[in-house]
């Protein structure tokens, strides 16, 4: 065997050794990645803090917190006495304006139409205080599947936040409200005299502009 042949054999051997090392490292890395993924999936290993911080926050869904029944004997409120703000909690352009226009045709007083600060996955949320319970139930008869949400406001105004599943208002002929018949308490509501209104958010002082 010539010196040239021996050199070729040596180079081939080194190349095979390098390939073996590279393949070994790749296989080890794949094995570690698979073990890590399995540990995260089964809950044996938590993601690092930075990974949790960058995870997308889900939109609120149609969960129903405790809400009050109508006061005993409360009658539906005439629509022209319901002061209403309509919010678009979706990415659909013009939803609040179009729905507010339809509600206005039904007599509701529309004080504001605006985009909500966050999206909502359900049909709609009707938000009100203890002074606006009858107003909220009156509006709910026009909005199928709306979730009732009690907040700390002291006035009888009502907010309507339209969600991703909202399609349209109930047909007017299906709104079965008799102005002489008290509102019916739905299953699952809290008797009005047992309701504890949420605390109002703390007021923080803002430094005056210098």
- The 3-state secondary structure of 55-106 reads CCCCCCCCCCCCCECCCCCCCCCCHHHCEEEEEECCCCCCHHHHHHHHHHHC
Residue 14 within any structural domain of the chain? yes
pLDDT band of 20, cuts 50, 70, 90: low
| Token representation of residue 89 | 């909690």
Asked, for residue 205, whether it belongs to a domain, the answer is no
Query: Among 9-23, 35-49, 59-73, which range has the highest average pLDDT?
Result: 59-73
Whether 209 shows a pLDDT value over 50: the answer reads no
pLDDT tens per residue, range 155-195: 999 999 999 999 999 999 999 999 999 999 998 899 998 88
Is residue 43 scored above 50 in pLDDT? no
Token pair of 62, please?
């149609």
Residue 32 confidence (pLDDT) above 90 = no
Are residue 166 and residue 86 in the same domain, yes or no?
yes
Judge whether 64 lies within some domain: no
103 shares its domain with 170: yes
pLDDT, position 2:
65
Residues 112 and 36 in one domain: no
Q: Domain for residue 85, yes or no? A: yes
Q: Which residue has the higher pLDDT, 45 or 112?
A: 112
Close Cβ partners of 14 (under 8 Å, ≥ 6 residues apart): none
Report pLDDT digits (tens) over 76-111: 999 999 999 999 999 999 999 999 999 999 999 999
Q: Helix H segments across the chain?
A: 3-42, 49-53, 95-105, 133-140
Does pLDDT of 126 surpass 70? Answer: yes
Ramachandran category for residue 203: left, alpha or beta (phi over 0 → left; psi -120 to 50 → alpha): beta
If one counts the domains in the chain, the total is 2
7 and 84 co-located in one domain: no
Structural domain contains residue 70: no
Q: Can you tell me which residue has the tokens 């026009």?
A: 142
Residue 138 lies in a domain: yes
Give me the domain span that covers residue 137. 79-186
| Mean pLDDT to the nearest integer, 129-142 | 97
Same domain (yes/no): 95, 142: yes
* Position 129 in a domain: yes
Q: What is the mean predicted confidence (pLDDT) over 195-200?
A: 76
Output the pTM of the full model.
Answer: 0.66
Burial call 139-162: b when 16+ CB within 10 Å, e when fewer:
bbebbeebbbbbeebeebbbbbbb
CA distance 38 to 32: 10
In a domain, 94, yes or no: yes
Pairing between β-strand 147-150 and β-strand 124-128 as defined by DSSP bridges: parallel
């Amino acid at each position: 065997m010539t010196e040239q042949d021996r050199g070729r054999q040596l180079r081939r051997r080194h190349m095979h050794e390098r390939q073996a090392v590279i393949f070994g490292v790749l296989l080890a890395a794949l094995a570690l990645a698979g073990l890590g993924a399995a540990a995260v999936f089964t809950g044996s290993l938590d993601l690092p803090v930075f990974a949790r911080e960058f995870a997308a926050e889900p939109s609120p869904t149609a969960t129903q917190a405790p809400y009050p029944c109508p006061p005993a004997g409360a009658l539906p409120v005439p629509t022209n006495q319901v002061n209403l703000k309509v919010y678009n909690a979706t990415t659909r352009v013009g939803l609040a304006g179009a729905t507010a226009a339809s509600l206005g045709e039904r007599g509701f007083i529309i004080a504001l139409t605006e985009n909500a600060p966050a999206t909502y996955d359900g049909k709609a949320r009707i938000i009100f205080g203890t002074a606006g319970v009858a107003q909220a139930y009156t509006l709910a008869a026009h909005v199928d599947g709306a979730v009732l949400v009690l907040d700390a406001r002291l006035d009888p105004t009502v907010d309507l936040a339209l969600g991703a599943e909202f399609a349209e208002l109930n047909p007017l002929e299906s709104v079965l409200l008799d102005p002489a018949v008290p509102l019916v308490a739905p299953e699952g509501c809290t008797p009005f005299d047992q309701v504890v209104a949420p605390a109002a958010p703390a007021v923080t002082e803002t430094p005056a502009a210098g």
